[in-house]
Every structure is written in C-alpha cells, then in structure tokens.
Amino acid sequence: MAAACLLALSCTPKSTPDKFTYSLDEFADLEVIRYEVPGWDELSFGQKQYIYYLSEAAKWGRDIIWEQNCVYNLPIRKALEKILNTYDGGDRGSTLDWFNFFVYAKRVFFSNGIHHHYGEHKFFPECPRRYMEMLFDETGCDKRLVEIIYNPDIAPFRKYQGEGVDLIKASANHLYEGVSQKEAEAFYAAMEDPDDLQPLSIGLNSRLVKEPDGSLKELRYTTSGLYGEALTKVVENLEAAAAVAENDVQRKYIAQLVDYFRTGDLKTWDDYNISWVQDTLSRVDFINGFIEVYGDPLGLKGNFEAMVNYRDDEASNRTVTISENAQWFEDHSPVDPRFRKAEVKGISAKVINAACLAGDTYPSTAIGINLPNADWIRKDYGSKSVTIANITEAYDKAANEKPNSVLKEFAWDEAEIARAKAYEYITDNLHTDLHECLGHGSGQLLEGTSPNALKEYSSTLEEARADLFALWYLADPKLVELGLLDNPDAYQAQYDSYIRNGIFTQFTRIELGKKNTEAHMQNRKLIAEWCFEQGAADKVIEKRVRDGKTYFVINDYKALRNLFGKLLAEIQRIKSEGDYAAGKALVEKYAVNIDPDLHKEVLERYAALKLKPYRGFVNPDIVPVTKRGKVIDYAIEYCTNFVGQQLEYGEKYATLTPATLE
C-alpha cells in the first residue's frame, strides 16, 4: 500500500511501451484506462498542430465543469491538490488513513467533484474526520471544507430526480442560484414562442440567479461574463487552431464559435452548429462548448464539454453505409408516419479516434456522439454522428486483461456466451452507430410542440428513443443486405447483453438502496423492464434461478423485437406531441426504482469477480518537438499516472477563483 501511494504521487512518467497496457489504476468502484492514438504518425504536421491547439482549448475549460457541478467543488479540489503536493507527514503513504484519504482524492478527481460521476449522489472519505482535519491543518487549508466533505445533509445530490420536491433546490449543481423550480420554469416558459420554427436553446449557456429585489437574471457564460477567465483561454487557443486549420470551412465555424463565447448570443451558437454540421470532409474535428443538458434537472442548461478527434477512414466505411441509407431507415421505422421525417437531410456519420477528452467527457466519456441537439437544425441541416473507435477498443482490451468475466457470471448458458464472443463486439459498435447516426436524428416534432415539453424527463426519453431505434434495426435483414452483418441472427448477441444489462447487471454501478437516477441507465432500465412486463404472459423474457443465482433469458427474439418497435412508436409519439404526463409515467414506473433483492444479489456476485463497474481515461499528452527553438513535430506520450495528470492539469489549466465560503 505504501509503495503504491508513493508511486502514484511521484513525477508523472510518460512512456510509449512496446506492449501497450490499457488498465492503469483501480480504486473504489472505478478503473482508469489508457487509450491509444492510432495512426498519429500518418497525420500531417499541420493536422497535428491543429489537434494540439484544439486540445489546449478543450483543457482550458476544465475548471468550468467543476464549478458547474457544485459550488464547493473547486475549493475542495484546490485543498486536495495542496495536500497532495505539500503534505510531508511521516504517515504519508504508510498508513490506512492516508490510503483512504488518497482514494477519496482520486474519486473526487475522477468525478469532477464530490458527487458520483454517474449516480450523482455525494460520496464520502473512509478516513476519519479527525485525520482529514489534521491534513487541512498541516497544509493551511480552510477547515470549513471538512464539514462540507463529511456532512451528508450538505449537497447530498448533484442532480436530484424524484417527485414531490423542488428539483432545483434539491440539486447541488451550480446552474441556478436562489431560484425555485417553479420560478425557473415560469421564467423560461415566458421566453418560448410556440410559433417559432427555429427556437433558440434558451437557458443553455447561463446561470439563472435571483437578484436582491426578487427579479431573475441570467448570467451568461462569456469571455467578459461568467467563467470569463476560462473562456478567454479557450478562445485564445481556438484562434491559434484556426490559424493552422485544414481549410477555410473550419476557420469559418471556429470564428463563429469564438464570437459565441465572446457574446453569449444563442443565435450565433445556432449559426456555428449549422456551419459545423455541414463540414463532412475535414479529417480533424472537435466539439467545444456548453452542449449536453443531462446535468440540469430541468434539461435546459449545458455543461462544458470538449473532445478533439480525427476520422478513422477505414472504419468509417460502416457508418457511411448507414448514413447513405438514412432515408430508408426513416421510412421503415415502426412509428406513426406523422412523426417521421419526409426528407432526411444531412445525416453524416463516421468512426473517429479521440485525441483529447475534456470537460464533461473526461475522465469518463461516451462511446458515441450525435450533434447538434436542436431538433430544427437536425431537421433542416442534418446531424453528425460518431463512434469513437479507440475508446471502444480500449474498453474491450482492458476487459481482456482481466482474469474474470461478467459474461461468464451472468450469461445463462454456453450458447449465450458463444453468441457474445462471436458477435457482441460488432453489434455493440453497430448499436452505437445506429443510436447516434440515425436514432437521435430520426423523427420530428409536430408543429407547435416545444422542444422543452418533456422537461426533466427529456434526456431519459431521448436516450430510450435512440436505443430503441438501434435495437429495432439490428434485427432487420437490411443490415445483412448492406454487408454490415454476415449473419441474420447476429443481433441476438446484442439483445442478450442489452436485456441482461438493463434489467440486472448495470446496477452494480449503484449503491444498495439508492435509486436509479442517471439518464442512460434509466433509459436501459425503462426498456428492459417494460419489455419484460409486456412479454410476461408469453415468457418472451424469462427470469430463471439456478443454484441460487438469477438469470434473464430471452426465449423469443422476434417477439422481443416487436416489443422494441411498439415502445419506440410510443416514445416517439410522446416526444412528437410533447406528452409530458405519459413520459413521466413511463420513467417513474419503469426507470427509477430498483428491486432490492436483485440489487443485493448483483452487487454480491459482481464483488466476487473483483471488477470495477465504472471506467474512465487519462489523456495521452501531445508534446511539441522542437529543433533550434522551432516546433518541427508533435509527439504522443502516454501518461502512466492518473493522479499525476490531475495535478498537472490542476496547476496548468487553473483559471477560476474558488468560491468564498460564507
């Protein structure tokens, strides 16, 4: 234990090993993984330089996501950094108390704050409070933070979901200040124009606060406003990237993004997204801004998110085939024709390799992205969908480094295991392709339906809609016809894993007795539980028990596909019509509450495997190579130290002043 602690806080070594190992660190319920950057040396010098500056722009927004997640996060992070950098007590690295403090610090770094990155509940140190107080005393940190760290009644949830409470007041995120849910909803409802066919993403880039006189005001995220210090550095590096961009198209939308960060004008944000989504030819691409609204209980405000990537040309052939047939998929969807797009525009899809993760995509990241989020831009201009190849590969390779397997523990028989080994990896990737490329981009709102009609349930229902679209089409003979699958029954491997995970194994990620609150997990539970109930009479999905262990077995794959189609039709109707009551009923009944007996069982069985349910990443470093004072190349160096990278980022990319405790 002592050796491990000392190693983890030594200088951050970098290496490019002959045999690349993926799994880097494990603690609590988390595993840290490295991802490779394949084909880096095949990129031109200009492309590498462009990626370098875009990556710097991404990392300079780091403090923003910490501050958005909770007002206490930055001061607590600064204190933990100071302790790790300066505490020189004799117990450092040699006692259980230090070890438990160290694990807590790593959990905070991983979650970008004091709340679980996925479950959104507050977590606590296992070292005694008196030990934490000693560390704060010895390093001159503000001891009032210790009360915040240990008190379960202070900021218990980053985002709270539930009935009968004010969701804003019950949530610790810093997207609102002094405002009630009722006041916020009324404020933004007054801004909506039901006749506007190109509505702005109201509330996306601001904090809503109550003034001393009781009026409400938006504090915009701009270079001269809220988060100005961080956004100024983001802009500086975006402008440096524009100077070395691949083409004028990139320069145009970078200029629009810079203008948006300077002004906060949401019309400019739409202009940027329209220009960005139409760039389908550039090799290097990125996202940067206030994008996803999962962190807001009202589903309005975007968290800072960034990623830099470049196209994997060979692997993209798969997604190109899907996007070229987008109209066929839309026309044959099992939803009411009123809710389908008569003309699918601008669907572009590609497989990419990530070069930098930042903001809400770091350390934990999605494996696919579909943007922009505005429904009217998707309808009129299209969308970009990506599957992140080197991330999915890293997950797969890291799992193969482990001696134990979730599949062997929770699959019913050898036939199910054989299906998974043969087809789960490709159907996983196809599921992501279909979800991101077509699922999110499918369907349309009826005229007059507000894009915010589903409120706090919008994220869960949108993810369910995209997942169901993918699940429905994975079993369609069209995929074999297009050459995307070589076996018409390959989809069964994905159906097995989806039901197994959605109804059972994903709850290894949640503490016993907690509710299911994260949108993606809610979506999977909703689908699996609804199908289990709807198909119960015919035992479409059967719950079996053998040797005291529970399994969920699919008996009729075709019937299950029909259930997926039926639920897709209903959720598309809910979205298209803005049926809040029906959406709420689905989520509250099927997505939130976990069977306590099943939950206890899955936790015990998973614990015996000694695996971690959550995984995230360290970034590789992009290092300028100089000769006689001139940069001649950019090299990739792979980080071997999770805490070292966190401390390095904390020092190098610090911009925001931590909140003053009152």
Per-residue pLDDT tens digits for 349-398: 899 999 999 999 999 999 889 899 999 999 999 999 899 999 999 999 99
| Mean of per-residue pLDDT scores for the chain | 94
Quote the CA–CA distance of 294 and 435 in Å, as a whole number: 17
pLDDT of 347: 82
Model confidence at 437, in pLDDT bands (50, 70, 90)? confident
Q: In terms of C-beta distances under 8 Å and separation of at least 24 residues, what long-range contacts does 245-250 make, across chains too?
A: 245/50, 246/46, 246/47, 246/50, 246/282, 246/283, 246/284, 247/282, 249/275, 249/278, 249/279, 249/281, 249/282, 250/50, 250/279, 250/282, 250/284
pLDDT at 78 over 90: yes
Pairing assessment for the beta strands 347-359 and 368-371 based on DSSP bridges: unpaired
Task: Tell whether the model's pLDDT for residue 620 goes beyond 50.
Answer: yes
Say what the pLDDT of residue 17 is. 47
Calculate mean pLDDT across residues 102-115: 98
With H, G, I as helix, E, B as strand and everything else as coil, classify residue 238: helix
pLDDT band at 3 (very low <50, low <70, confident <90, very high): very low
Report, as an integer, the average pLDDT of 236-262: 98
Please give the residue that has the higher pLDDT: either 3 or 604.
Answer: 604
199, pLDDT greater than 70: yes
Residue 16: its pLDDT value, please? 45
pLDDT score for 18: 59
Give me the percent of the chain exceeding a pLDDT of 90: 89
- Reading the block at residue 362, the tokens are 């770091």
Answer yes or no: are the C-beta atoms of 557 and 498 closer than 8 Å: no
What pLDDT shows up at residue 6?
Answer: 41
| pLDDT surpasses 50 at 13 | no
Domain ranges of the chain: 2-34+71-114+123-156+620-652, 228-615
Instruction: Over range 133-155, report the average pLDDT.
Output: 98
Take residue 324 and report the two structure tokens written for it.
């070229």
Give the model's pLDDT for residue 346.
81
Per-residue pLDDT reduced to its tens digit, 450-472: 999 999 999 999 999 999 999 99
State mean pLDDT over 309-324. 91
Q: Which residues of 42-56 are buried (b: 16+ CB within 10 A; e: fewer)?
A: ebeeebbbbbbbbbb
Q: What is the CATH number of domain 228-615?
A: 3.30.540.30
Residue 143 has a pLDDT of 96
Lowest-confidence segment of 88-92, 273-277, 622-626 by average pLDDT: 88-92
pLDDT band at 648 (very low <50, low <70, confident <90, very high): very high
Residue 314: per-residue pLDDT? 86
